Amino acid sequence: MEMDLAPEMITLFAAVRQTLGLRLEDYRSRQLERRLHFFRERHGLRTNAEVAMRLYSDPGFRRQFADFITINVSTFFRNPERYEELHVRVLPDRLRARGSLRIWSAGCSVGAEPFSVAMLLHSLAPTTPHTVLGTDIDAASLDRCRAGVYQDAELQEVPPAFRSRYFAATAAGWQVYPAVRSMVQFRRLDLLQDPFPTEQDLIICRNVVIYFTEVAKGLLLRRFGASLRPGGWLFIGATESIFDPPALGLEYRSPGFYQRAEGGGGSG
């Protein structure tokens, strides 16, 4: 925990745990307080205690709070140069080692990230069965993931060849083709509380752990390392880094990319 909690913050944390099952205690205090301030202003509330009372009594308000407090920013092929490295280095490395791959997008938001990697994988090995798992804490985002429909602004970084090959125009927007949608499964998962999938060839968790305390961040990174197969890769955000990769059984490869040692993972 990064701060001494005021009584009304303790009240809010308890309300959020009981009504939404979220642990705000593990979020960075400064960023959390800023977001709460904006949320209170938007709804004309003066204190966090008032927010807590509304969470208990108003299901619509509860949904709005969950949407606001969970971070849902995602685009296809975000930081294209990183996805190019996935395409030419990381995925070919795992395909040579394993053939059929297991990939996990942790904190997948509206689905752009797992669909992006599924397109790359399909382009490299279209006849091989692979499993891409997208998880998020926000049930509404997961509903959108399963529909697989996106607007022009969300597709700006999609390479033209992939846009014509993997998207179909519909009345609602651009829908990911069934060949790619069928590769990706979605489910709700709270990174701070739920068991992790194991034996993964690639875990993608970008711009998620930056919102957590250092203690929570360290625990998550250790669990990610343990969830990788030997030789598996961890792909994190462009502005993120891991201070001591060997302690987690990981080796630094390039900005944003770490690989689990072939001999095993970190301790704990």
- Tens of pLDDT, residue by residue over 13-40, are 899 888 877 777 777 777 788 878 888 9
The Cβ-side half-sphere exposure at 8, using a 13 Å CA radius, reads 10
Contact 113, 105 (CB under 8 A): yes
- Tell me whether residue 93 is in a domain: yes
**Are 61 and 87 contained in the same domain?**
no
Average pLDDT value for residue range 170-180: 96
Q: Report how far apart, in Å, the C-alpha atoms of 118 and of each of 59, 91, 138, 161, 193 are.
A: 35, 11, 21, 15, 27
**Are 56 and 91 contained in the same domain?**
no
**Are 112 and 183 contained in the same domain?**
yes
- Tell me whether residue 265 is in a domain: no
Q: Report how far apart, in Å, the C-alpha atoms of 169 and of each of 13, 118, 146, 152, 172 are.
A: 43, 19, 17, 10, 8
pLDDT of 239 > 60? The answer is: yes
pLDDT band at 73 (very low <50, low <70, confident <90, very high): low
pLDDT of 66 > 80? The answer is: no
What is the CA 95 to chain-centroid distance, rounded? 23
- Tell me whether residue 267 is in a domain: no
**Are 149 and 179 contained in the same domain?**
yes
| Of the residues 40, 69, 98, the one at which a domain ends | 69
**Are 127 and 31 contained in the same domain?**
no
Contact 249, 266 (CB under 8 A): yes
**Are 51 and 111 contained in the same domain?**
no
Residue type, 79: N
pLDDT of 11 > 70? The answer is: yes
Please tell me the predicted confidence (pLDDT) of residue 4.
52
- Tell me whether residue 112 is in a domain: yes
Domain range for 154 is: 80-260
pLDDT of 265 > 50? The answer is: no
CA distance 228 to 231: 8
Q: Report how far apart, in Å, the C-alpha atoms of 122 and of each of 115, 162, 167 are.
A: 10, 11, 13
- Tell me whether residue 116 is in a domain: yes
pLDDT band at 71 (very low <50, low <70, confident <90, very high): low
**Are 61 and 133 contained in the same domain?**
no
| Of the residues 69, 98, 113, the one at which a domain ends | 69
**Are 99 and 173 contained in the same domain?**
yes
**Are 157 and 63 contained in the same domain?**
no
**Are 25 and 149 contained in the same domain?**
no
For residue 139, give the CATH number of its domain.
3.40.50.150
**Are 60 and 116 contained in the same domain?**
no
Please tell me the predicted confidence (pLDDT) of residue 266.
45
Q: How many structural domains are present in the chain?
A: 2
**Are 123 and 62 contained in the same domain?**
no
- Tell me whether residue 1 is in a domain: no
Query: Which residues neighbour 139 within 8 Å (Cβ) at sequence distance 6 or greater?
Result: 188
- Tell me whether residue 103 is in a domain: yes
Cβ atoms within 10 Å of 37's Cβ, excluding its own:
11
| Of the residues 17, 50, 69, the one at which a domain ends | 69
- Tell me whether residue 75 is in a domain: no
CA distance 209 to 187: 19
